[in-house]
Amino acid sequence: MAGVEHYRMSLDPAIQKLGNMTTNRHKYFRWTPRTARITFMYAVVVPAILGTIAYTTDGKYDFRVKRKGDLISEF
């Protein structure tokens, strides 16, 4: 198997372009209504929903020292 270096990959122009685009994405980012909506959803709405669920179920369930036949919910 002489003559071919198997550990090297040939450079695919599409992969190179994708890597360059990913590296320089911050240079081409633009706030549009769609990106603002997505950012608002992930920065405000999702944490608010998770916080509400956590606040309403705080102390309701006790997972420590439960035996067969015991209920998980405290009230």
Structure tokens at 68: 């067969």
Kindly state whether residue 5 falls inside one of the protein's structural domains. Answer: no
Kindly state whether residue 43 falls inside one of the protein's structural domains. Answer: yes
Q: What is the pLDDT of residue 28?
A: 87
Q: How many domains does the chain have?
A: 1
Q: What is the pLDDT of residue 2?
A: 56
Q: What is the pLDDT of residue 4?
A: 62
Ranges of the chain with pLDDT below 50: none
| Distance (Å, whole) CA 50 – CA 57 | 11
| Distance (Å, whole) CA 63 – CA 72 | 6
Rg value, the chain, Cα: 26
Kindly state whether residue 41 falls inside one of the protein's structural domains. Answer: yes
Q: What is the pLDDT of residue 39?
A: 95
Residue range of the domain that includes 71: 30-75
Q: What is the pLDDT of residue 75?
A: 60
Q: What is the pLDDT of residue 12?
A: 84
Kindly state whether residue 11 falls inside one of the protein's structural domains. Answer: no
